[in-house]
Structure 1
C-alpha cells in the first residue's frame, strides 16, 4: 500500500510538471518585522555593531556588553575586573570581526579583546590599567584580510600586525598627525584607509610597509564596502561609487549623511546618520521593497546593518535594540486538481521528485 501512495505521488509530480492546474499559496513580497531588546535578554538596547560568524551565530556589540544570539536566546559577555581570562576587556563594544580560525575579535573602549570559541577564553591587547579617554572615541581600528592576517591601528598612530606565534601585535607602520587612520577595511586583499585629512587611500600590505596603489584626495567623510563596491561620501553629503577599475561615478541618492549600508535582496539599504533608512535598487534608483518596514523605521536611529543567512536583515538601533526583518515564505504549493478534476481520495505519503518534496495529506491535497 505504501508503494501505491509513492507511485501516485510520482504520477502527480509528472503531471504537475507538465503544467496542469495547481493552486499556489506562496506569499508575495511581504516581510515579518520583529524587535528584540533588553526585555528579550539583550544586555543593552543601544547596539553598535552586528556580526554573523561562520557557525551562523549572531554577535551583537552594545554600549553595555557583548551578546551572542543563537536564534533562541542571548548569551551575554561582560567585563569582570577580577577574571581577566574569562571576561572581555570592556563592556563598550564598538566593532566585531572574525578571523579564519573562527576567533572573534572585539573592538572595545580601551583595547582589543579576542574570544577563542572552543575554549571560551578571552585574550586582551592594548589595555591599560586606567584611561582618561572619552567613551565616545574610537581608539582602535581592526581589519582582517582574506589570508586571516589581523591588523590593528591605535589612536597613538601605530599600525600593528598580529603575530600568532607570539600572541601579540608587532608594529608595522607609524603615522603622524592627520595622516593617521580614521577607518580601514580590507577589500580584495587591499587595505582601504580613510585618514583624518579626508584622503581615501588603497594599499598593498606586502613586505614590511604599506605600498600606495590609489589615493583619492577629495575631503572624504566616510566610506563603505558593499556589494563588491566602494561607496564614499564627501562633507557636502554627495555620494560616489568606485568600481573595480577605480572608476568613480556619482550616485543620485538623498543628500544625507550615511551611517551604514547593506545589500539586501538586490537592493541597497542605507541607514541615515540621524534616523530612518532609504532603499535603492542596484542602480541606486528608489525601490519599492520594504515600504511598510521603512515607514516603521523612519523615527529610529539605525546604527548597524547586517544581512545574515536565510535572507534575514538585522538592524541595530540606538535605544530600540535589534530589528529582525525576513520574508514571509510559504514553501508549499497546494495541488488540489488533476486535469481539472478534484482530488477526492485521502493520500498520506512522502516522495522526492526532481529534488522537490511531495507530501500527500489525509485531506484533499
Structure 2
C-alpha cells in the first residue's frame, strides 16, 4: 500500500520507492523516505552532476537495496553484467593519518574504540591511542612488566564491559588497565594447561555468554573464562573429523543465533557447544557450491541475516547456513564491476546498510541491486583518495566515521561529507577565481541555486543543466547589482531575490528582467533603510 505526500512520491509494490514527478523536491522527498524505510529510490530523470574529485554521480545517492537480485556469469559465481549501466561511486573523501601525524607505524592491522571515545590502532610497531588530535603510543619495554607484551598488534576488542583487549604476535593476549595506564598479560606457559595455547594471537571476540575466544596462528582457538582465568583449547586432530580443521586461526565471529564460527587456513568451522566439536566447511574442487577457498580471513553476518565469508584466494562467499552451500563473488579482470581482488581481509556493514569489503585492490562497496562492486582505490594525484590499495581492516565508530586501515596508513571518512552534492558549474569560472569567498546561498522555486560572493557578485545556477549566469556591478548601469560584495541572500515566495551587500544597501532582483531595484540609507529621508551594510 502506498503513501502519498502532496502528490510528490508514492511507494510501489515491493521494496522500491518511485517518484511520481520529476524535479528536485520530488527526488529529495523520495530519497528521504527511502532512507527512513530502508528501501531504494527510483526517480525518473535523476540528474547527473560532477563531484569535486571528478567522478560523475547522481544528485542524490540511491538507498542500497540489500535484498536485490544479481546476475550470474557462471552457475554459482556471482558477476554483475558489464554491459549494465556503470555504478556511480560515492563522494568518498578520506582524511589520512600516518607517521607524519604521529602514528607509530603505517601498517594498520586493527582498529577499536573504547568507552571513553578513544580510537585505538594496532600496527606492526606499537599500539596507538588517538583522541582526535594527538596520538599516544604504547610499546613493549623489556624492563616494564606493565608495558605491552609485544609491539606487533594483530587484534583489538572492546568488550561489553568496556575493557580493551589486545592480541599480539609473540606476546600473547593483553588487557589494558586505564588506572595504571598499562597492561595485564595473558601468555602461554609451558607446563600450564590452563594458560593461553599460544602467543601469536590473530583474532579476539567475546560471545553472548561472556566468554572470550582467542584465535592463534599455529595454536588453534581458545575459549577463555575471565572469572576463573582458565583457557580451554581447541586444536586440529587429524584423527578426529569433528576437531578444528586447522590450527592457523585468522577470523572469529558469533552470529545472531549465538553460534561461534572459526576461520582457519584449512576451512570454515562452526562450533557445536553440546558436542564440544566443530562442523567444517571446506573447498571442494568438484562442487561449485562449496567454499571458494579454504584460507578464511573474514567472517561477517549483516543485519539482513546474510552470512559472508572472505578468503585469501577465492574472493567473497555468501553462505546458506541451512544448506551449507556458498555463492561466490570473484574478481574478473574483464569486468570492472566485479570484486576488486580475490584477497578479502575484512568485512563491515555500516549503519546505513552498506557492505564494505577490504581487498588487496582497494576498498569495495557492494551494490546488491546489481551484484556489482564499486572500487575506491589509491590515486597518487588525489590527496583525498584512500592511501593504499591493500586494505587490512575496517571499523565504524560511534560518531559514524568509517575507519579504513591499510598497509600504508589509516584513513577516515565522515559520512556527512557524502550527504553533500557537488555541482559542476558551467560558465562559473569568474565567480570562483581570485580566491573570492562564497558568503551566501539561496534556492528559489524554479530550481535555481543562487550563490553570493565577496567581490565577484552573484551567480545563478541551474541545477538541472549546471548552466550559470553572473550578475555584477556596472558603473554605467544604475539597474545592475549595486555592490559585488554580497553578504546575504533571500529567495522570496514570488520568485524574486533579495540581496544584502557589504556597503551599498539592499537589492531586489526581478529574475524575469535581470534588473535590480535599490534600497539605501539616506540621512535626510525618514523611513529609509537604517544601514547600507546588510548582513
TM-score normalised by the chain length of structure 1? 0.70
Asked if 1 retains the 8 angstrom alpha-carbon contact of 2:93 and 2:413, the reply is yes
**Counterpart selection for 1:300 from 374, 385, 389:** 389
Asked if 2 retains the 8 angstrom alpha-carbon contact of 1:67 and 1:75, the reply is yes
Aligned to 1:261: 347
Change (3 A) 1:260 1:165: closer
Aligned to 1:251: 329
**Counterpart selection for 2:255 from 177, 184, 187:** 187
Change (3 A) 1:73 1:148: farther
**Aligned residue-pair number:** 312
**Counterpart selection for 2:295 from 221, 224, 227:** 221
Matching of residue 41 in structure 1 with residue 119 in structure 2: no
Aligned-residue RMSD, C-alpha: 3.9
Change (3 A) 1:310 1:292: farther
**Counterpart selection for 1:142 from 190, 204, 207:** 204
Aligned residue runs from structure 1 range 259-298, under 5 A: 259-264=345-350, 265-273=352-360, 275-283=361-369, 285-287=371-373, 296-297=385-386
Aligned to 1:322: 410
Asked if 2 retains the 8 angstrom alpha-carbon contact of 1:89 and 1:127, the reply is no
- Report the alpha carbon displacement of residue 76 of structure 1 after superposing the two structures with TM: 1.1
Aligned to 1:357: none
Matching of residue 58 in structure 1 with residue 145 in structure 2: no
For 1:299 and 1:174, the matched residues in 2 are separated by 36
- Report the alpha carbon displacement of residue 119 of structure 1 after superposing the two structures with TM: 4.7
Asked if 1 retains the 8 angstrom alpha-carbon contact of 2:402 and 2:412, the reply is yes
Matching of residue 101 in structure 1 with residue 169 in structure 2: no
Question: What SS is found at the alignment partner of 2:157?
Answer: strand
Asked if 1 retains the 8 angstrom alpha-carbon contact of 2:387 and 2:410, the reply is no
Aligned to 1:201: 269
- Report the alpha carbon displacement of residue 190 of structure 1 after superposing the two structures with TM: 1.2
* Structure 1, unpaired ranges of 5+: 1-20, 130-136, 346-362
For 1:140 and 1:292, the matched residues in 2 are separated by 27
Change (3 A) 1:70 1:298: closer
**Counterpart selection for 2:276 from 210, 219, 227:** 210
* Structure 2, unpaired ranges of 5+: 1-23, 29-58, 61-89, 191-198, 239-244, 284-292, 331-337, 422-439, 444-489, 501-532
Aligned to 1:121: 182
More strand by share: 1
Aligned to 1:75: 136
For 1:56 and 1:244, the matched residues in 2 are separated by 36
More helix by share: 1
Question: What SS is found at the alignment partner of 1:176?
Answer: coil
Aligned to 1:242: 319
**Alpha-carbon displacement from aligned partner over 1:236-269 (angstroms, at most 9, x marks no partner):** 6253202464563333643622222333454333
Change (3 A) 1:107 1:65: same
Query: Which entry has the higher C-alpha Rg, 1 or 2?
Result: 2
- Report the alpha carbon displacement of residue 224 of structure 1 after superposing the two structures with TM: 2.3
For 1:117 and 1:333, the matched residues in 2 are separated by 48
Change (3 A) 1:31 1:333: farther
**Alpha-carbon displacement from aligned partner over 1:275-295 (angstroms, at most 9, x marks no partner):** 423332134633558689798
